[in-house]
Amino acid sequence: MANKGKNKKTKGGNGEDKELKDRLGEMEGSSSDTEKASSPQDEEVKRREEEEMIKKLQEEIDKLTTKDIIVQMMMSLSSLAYKKMGIPIGVNDRYKDKMQAKLAVDCFDALLKAVSDEVSAEENENLKSSLSNLQINFVKTFI
């Protein structure tokens, strides 16, 4: 019985364990106090590391070609098209939208025509296969 009384004191009506919540809050507060107490040297090291990371990311972005971006867009359009077709069934049903799915498939097709001379033969075949699958699934879903 004494434990029940203790539980009533530490638990709110919404099931929260106030004692645990308070301890977590104290821990968070102490970690932020430590962060505030970091030395200017630590801040300088952190700033330099962030600048180096940004520089490396920018170098990677600079290596991207227009073809790379278009192919990535096509993969995004493919994913979006399936979602707008409600595929997989039972997971994406609420997103089903014929006009949005059609637009995504049509844009994939247009981008494939634009990029087909820029990609390898294997990549071109893979993209064509993806387009065919999109079109077949569109017809199965909406027609």
Per-residue model confidence as pLDDT tens digits over 110-135: 999 999 999 999 999 999 999 999 99
The answer to whether residue 118 sits within a structural domain is yes
Quote the domain boundaries for residue 44: 34-63
Same domain, 81 and 135: yes
Higher per-residue pLDDT: 8 or 67: 67
The answer to whether residue 53 sits within a structural domain is yes
Same domain, 86 and 42: no
Higher per-residue pLDDT: 114 or 2: 114
Is residue 118 within 8 Å of 130, Cβ to Cβ? no
Is residue 60 within 8 Å of 52, Cβ to Cβ? no
The answer to whether residue 16 sits within a structural domain is no
In the predicted structure, residue 8 carries a pLDDT above the cut 50: no
Same domain, 46 and 79: no
Give how far Cα 84 sits from Cα of 3, 13, 19, 72, 77, Å. Answer: 54, 42, 46, 18, 10
Same domain, 39 and 83: no
Neighbour-count burial for 9-47, b at 16+ CB within 10 Å, e otherwise: eeeeeeeeeeeeeeeeeeeeeeeeeeeeeeeeeeeeeee
Same domain, 43 and 82: no
Same domain, 71 and 138: yes
Once rounded to an integer, what is the mean pLDDT over residues 82-107?
Answer: 97
Same domain, 59 and 70: no
Is residue 84 within 8 Å of 101, Cβ to Cβ? yes
**pLDDT given at position 90:** 95
**What is the tally of structural domains in the chain?**
2
The answer to whether residue 96 sits within a structural domain is yes
Once rounded to an integer, what is the mean pLDDT over residues 45-49?
Answer: 94
Residue 59: pLDDT band by 50, 70, 90 thresholds? Answer: very high
In the predicted structure, residue 14 carries a pLDDT above the cut 80: no
Tokens encoding 57: 């990311």
